[in-house]
Homo-oligomer: A and B are copies of this chain.
Amino acid sequence: MKLSKLAERIEGALEGDGDWEITGIAGLDEAGDGDITFLTNPKFAAVLEKSPASAVVVGRKWTGSSPCPVVRVDNPDKAMALCATLLGPAIPAPEPGIHRTAVVSDDAQLGEGVCVGPHCVVESGAEIGARTVLMSGCHIGHDTEIGDDCAFDPHVIVRHRVKIGNRVVIHDGAVIGSDGFGNYRDGGRWHKIPQIGTVEIGDDVEIGANTTIDRARFGMTRIASGVKIDNLVQIGHNVQIGENAAMAALVGIAGSVVIEADAMLGGHAGVGDHLVIGRGAIVGGKSGIAKDVPPGDYVFGYPALPFRKFVANQRNVSRLPELKKRIAELERRLAELEKRE
């Protein structure tokens, strides 16, 4: 595709020669001749200067210099997503229909164009919306409802009585609706509390590989529309996650936590049970949350503190040897004075 045409497709303003043929798409580090690349973070501008890429997409206000033609756009990340769709390798469309090795209950309801891959299991009473794709080895439990245009990777497990919206993407090996961790102690032993609730997931949610989302003890574990969850994340029973919240890999959310809309949690962050992460709050990677986080706050550490306080603490601790010296010096001088009295 000619660069001029590509620039048009991504609604960008072209600066430079639009006749170049763009044949590929690559990150700044790896882009070569024929590739279009992206400067999404100004701190990598130095990499761009040495890049043999054939074109670069930048933000409208970027003021640096480029060795190749520039396409200015409102949102370089959005342009990247568009280019990946336009220039990426073709993905073979899954064949609609039920694979001969799949085991689908007679009373399951499958919408138009549904694809049920090899070795899938769809239990009694399950409903799957139009054009939803189950790759190989998925398990859909009884009476579970799944919306339209969902894409489930191989070995996704959605247990019984779960509700999932439209356009939900679930990656390989993720488990939705396994039992919550609920036990009571009696006679010196643990006994199981049946987990009779379920999970409700909105539209446009993405759930990472091998992530686990527990069903509620009673009622619902709720994941609102637009939530993005990375790999190997644990969501406990009765958790409520608000719209467009996002969390990175290996995050752990204990039971009955509320994460409000637009909140973000870094990798390995952990939240104790029954706490509230306020709307738009940011929890730094590896933070341990032991009390509510107010809306919009940026917290960090273990136990988590407002980011500035966390940084100040770290700096103060690293300067303790200096404080000790000042105290020793004071002691020396004071002893000197006392001697003179």
Contact = CB atoms under 8 A, between A and B. Distances in A.
Interface in A268-293: 268, 270, 272, 285-286, 288
A226 B188 CA distance: 10
Interface in A148-201: 153-155, 157, 159-161, 169, 171-173, 175, 178-179, 181, 183-186, 188-196
A75 interface: yes
A218 B30 contact: yes
Nearest to A327: B326
Contacts of A92: 124, 142
A27 interface: yes
B159 A181 contact: no
A254 interface: yes
A317 B318 contact: no
B320 A316 contact: yes
Interface in A99-117: 99, 101, 103, 117
Nearest to A88: B196
A25 interface: yes
Interface in A214-230: 214, 216-219, 226, 228, 230
Given A75-B186, A139-B136, A313-B317, A121 B268 contact: no
Given A268-B270, A270-B267, A78 B330 contact: no
Contact of A231 (B234, B244, B249, B302): B234
9 shortest interchain CB distances as A-B pairs: A77-B184, A88-B196, A234-B249, A316-B320, A178-B209, A84-B194, A286-B288, A172-B175, A139-B154
25 contacts: A25-B218, A30-B219, A80-B184, A84-B217, A117-B121, A153-B159, A154-B157, A155-B157, A155-B173, A172-B175, A173-B173, A175-B209, A175-B210, A189-B244, A190-B244, A208-B212, A212-B232, A230-B234, A248-B254, A250-B250, A301-B302, A316-B317, A320-B320, A327-B327, A337-B338
Given A119-B119, A248-B254, A268-B268, 18 more contacts: A27-B216, A27-B218, A77-B193, A85-B194, A92-B124, A101-B103, A135-B139, A153-B159, A171-B178, A173-B173, A189-B244, A190-B246, A210-B232, A303-B314, A323-B323, A323-B324, A337-B341, A340-B341
